[in-house]
Amino acid sequence: MASATSRPPEVTPRPAGPLRRGVTEVGELVSFGGRSVLGAPGAARYLSQSTSQLAKLISGTTLLMFAMNCFLGASDVSFGYFFLNSIGAGDYSGLVTGLLTPRAAITLMFGYVFAAKVAAGWCAELGAMKVQQEIDALDSVGVDPMRYAVAPRIIAAALFAPLATLVSIAGQTAGGWLVGVAVLHGLSAESFLSVHWSSMALDDPLKALVTILLQAVSFTVIACFYGLRAQGGPAGVGQAVARSLFVNLIVLHLLQGFFLMYFYGDHVNLAIGG
């Protein structure tokens, strides 16, 4: 009687560890971002989607962004006035807002507001479309979801960046003026505005615009990426939103540090001194 042929034991694949899963997820995110940005020109046929998203951005976010920057500008001047007043330089409180506003304050505040309100909302919208099979329905009728759902949001975010920069600067200035001039009565309006604008270099707002533009596009890509990966019903959508917000906050501080070092690392570009 022939002996039974022995089979080699089946090897169960080891589950991927957290490091491998993280690297894989980053690679998929980068690939998704590249396809999204490259596919943005193809969204011209869906111009109404881009304008609709832009209108929602302007109507729903502009006032909030102005108010949040107002509060931050008020805090900056409050700190700057009492600090500088202790050495007899309270009239130069506008120096604080003039330096901080375009370099760090408005870019950070934009990142927090955009990531928490706009990007999280878009992630929830796309996640709901995904779990309700609306994304699959678009595919079934020959509509590319990347061009119809993702690219218009990227275009809207990019178009919103210049307005967000102007509104943020206005909010910081208004908040600083309100506290320094109207509340503390520590200096005149002319003195505050003169120091505020003279301490701000001409290219500082442009550098802030570049930072805000890249933040807006990056946050939108990340939100869309996790929204389209949502599964399992409302709970899955909530997990996707939380994940996208977590990643966006990390990216925010990485971009903030990078551009601060890139623009001001070798020269602080202060409009004072000799």
Residue 196 has pLDDT above 50, yes or no: yes
Helices (H), 3-150: 18-38, 47-85, 94-100, 106-113, 120-131, 134-140, 145
In a domain, 8, yes or no: no
Residue 85 has pLDDT above 90, yes or no: no
- Quick one: how far is CA 5 from the chain centroid? 63
Q: What is the pTM of this model?
A: 0.88
Chain segment 107-160, per-residue pLDDT in tens: 999 999 999 999 999 999 999 999 998 888 888 888 888 888 899 999 999 999
CA distances in angstroms from 153 to 38, 159, 269, listed in the order given = 14, 10, 35
CB 190 within 8 A of CB 223: no
pLDDT of residue 37: 83
In a domain, 14, yes or no: no
Residue 43 has pLDDT above 60, yes or no: yes
In a domain, 54, yes or no: yes
What's the structural domain count of the chain?
1
In a domain, 15, yes or no: no
pLDDT of residue 91: 85
In a domain, 168, yes or no: yes
pLDDT of residue 274: 46
Q: Which residue has the higher pLDDT, 217 or 42?
A: 217
In a domain, 271, yes or no: no
In a domain, 26, yes or no: no
**Residue 170 pLDDT grade (very low, low, confident, very high; cuts 50, 70, 90):** very high
Chain segment 243-262, per-residue pLDDT in tens: 999 999 999 999 999 999 99
Can you tell me the distance from the alpha carbon of 104 to that of 96, in angstroms, rounded to the nearest whole number? 11
pLDDT of residue 14: 64
Range of the domain at 102: 46-263
